Chain A
């Protein structure tokens, strides 16, 4: 057990270290000087521009040698300081991200969990059923093959613009002030639906076919045949097969998180939903590398944490790993 997690933790730590280093490198290697961008077309006369330039360079801590900047970065990181945004100067990157995170959680958690649940159930259901296998399953493949933004665009266009049933921008109406009123919550859900459903559908397709293919292998496994030979009802056989097929799906979930994040990113862009993805785009378009840095860091941490949780879940559901680990090997 210890060995297993020890190894996992090493991976996580080294991943984190690497990622953070890449992350730190971004603004330093990016073209364009954030200060110049911040100051472009402000002061009227060249010499005053020079004065402010040096001033802001100090403000962003870009005046010390690179290695020092790197150490300062780590130091600041452990104090929860992700630096100052250029786009939203003088706001702190951390505060911006913290404002955005709830929207991501609100969008991603339901989308991921529901699509995972529904997809697996459906896939198990469709497997080895000639009719479903040939009719609905191709749909699953089409869904996973659908580019996130395209599904978003289609939904925004059809349901949002042509039919006019759903709003296709922002997290809540521009005429609303956040509050715990029913009206506001309904409004929130109304805006949440389209981005949610486009994330859900694509995830659903993927999990469905994943499970379908997994469970077919399981149904062909010896233990399934033995159960059949002992006249166990179809239900029981499938139940066991599902239980075994779900395991790789769980690891799959862990490894998919990165992809899902990127999907959420473009979806948020399409529906201008103010989550991290939305900020990443803002940051890129406005060359706000500090913000970009922060968002990226946040994603990294999110993915790592989620992975770790899933690892723990996996160990609890799969006896083989657990017993293997007691044996000391993993």
Chain B
């Protein structure tokens, strides 16, 4: 949904904001004055911090049986234990790591492919555009999740990295569309014409003239892809098609449900992982709106 919204917006903003280096400070100034950015960033950083500090605070292996079966949170087991007596906190922090990794790799890859396709389609136009557009639309229409299911089920042993790759490879069309629209609006700008007339190579133009002017936009696209990848991964994991050799937040929920945690009311097992995902992705989205306001002053609060 969010991605869609963004594409349409991009098509609406006739003049997209341009951050020149000298404007960076001003951008930061606004960014840190914007509550949405503040809150969003805050939450994300908090969890990011937890992923890096968490493992240092636990000396357990996520799948090791270290305590009594399904005990509620206590000073000994901060988030309680699973019905197999594994430490939920350990699983949680490692799950967070997996989540962020999927976000960065999957989201990053998705953005990268999307941006590339978008740039080329938008800048070249003509048949190239037609073709790429066709592909984009096809991938957009195919329920990629179904494909992911199948690919996932096909892999014998899956890792978080592989999972991220597949997500990245299926999640790019949104970005492609948005970036294409942007590039369209930019390629006719005089500074691009100048570059073109000065005989610069198309790719060079894209990277030195167009891309930098879309930084704000690319950043927002990346954020959305990041959040999207996390959600897809969670869904896959929950169905039991997640990593086979590691723990993730989605898998935690999967195990919890399989082991009847709902009935035993072991809420500490299945509430935190979902909450973390919700909090991270949610604040990413909110942050995104904040940035949007920063980049497009006319949207700022009256």
| A residues at B contact (CB < 8 Å) | 10-12, 14-15, 18-19, 22, 26, 29-31, 128, 130, 133, 138, 141-142, 144-151, 153-154, 156-157, 161-162, 206-207, 209-210, 213-214, 216-217, 220, 248, 251-252, 255-259, 261-263, 265-266, 269-270, 280-281, 284-285, 292, 295-296, 299-300, 303-304, 307
Contacts and interface: CB of A to CB of B under 8 A. Distances in A.
A12 B277 CA distance: 34
Given A12-B141, A18-B138, A150-B234, 4 more contacts: A26-B154, A150-B275, A220-B299, A262-B143
B190 interface: no
A150 B278 contact: yes
Interface string B1-27: 110110011001100000000000000
Contact of A210 (B1, B278, B301): B1
B4 A248 contact: yes
B235 A148 contact: yes
Contacts of B232: 262
B26 to A, nearest CB: 21
B286 interface: yes
A150 B235 CA distance: 9
In this complex, the member of A144, A209, A261, A307 whose beta carbon has the largest number of chain B beta carbons within 10 angstroms is A144
Contact of A266 (B239, B263, B281): B239
Interface in B277-292: 277-282, 284-286, 289, 292
A144 B231 CA distance: 10
B278 A147 contact: yes
A258 to B, nearest CB: 4
A266 B239 CA distance: 7
Contacts of B2: 144, 206, 209-210
B150 interface: yes
A258 B143 contact: yes
Contact of A220 (B234, B238, B298): B298
B121 to A, nearest CB: 15
B5 A210 contact: yes
Given A11-B134, A31-B154, A147 B289 contact: no
Chain B, interface size: which category? Answer: 35 or more
A220 B15 CA distance: 14
Contact of B12 (A10, A11, A19, A217): A217
Nearest to A130: B301
Contacts of B256: 153
Interface string B232-271: 1011001111000000001001001100001101010011
Contact of A213 (B239, B271, B274, B289): B289
Contacts of B278: 142, 145-147, 150
A76 B172 CA distance: 34
B238 A266 contact: yes
A265 B232 CA distance: 12
Contact of A262 (B13, B134, B137, B146): B146
A153 B1 contact: no
11 contacts: A138-B282, A145-B227, A161-B263, A206-B1, A209-B5, A214-B8, A217-B13, A258-B141, A263-B235, A299-B146, A303-B142
Nearest to A160: B262
A244 to B, nearest CB: 10
Contacts of B146: 258, 261-262, 280, 295-296, 299-300
A206 B298 CA distance: 23
Contact of A251 (B4, B9, B241, B275): B4
B98 to A, nearest CB: 14
A261 B298 contact: no
Contact of B274 (A146, A156, A207, A304): A146
Nearest to B293: A216
Contacts of B143: 257-259, 261-262, 299-300, 303
Given A251-B4, A262-B235, A147 B299 contact: no
A210 B4 contact: yes
A147 B238 contact: yes
Contacts of B195: none
B135 to A, nearest CB: 9
B153 interface: yes
For the complex of A and B, the 3 pairs showing the least CB-CB separation, nearest first, are: A150-B274, A206-B1, A262-B145
A232 to B, nearest CB: 19
B296 to A, nearest CB: 9
Given A147-B231, A148-B235, A210-B1, A153 B274 contact: yes
Interface in B181-199: none
A44 B287 CA distance: 63
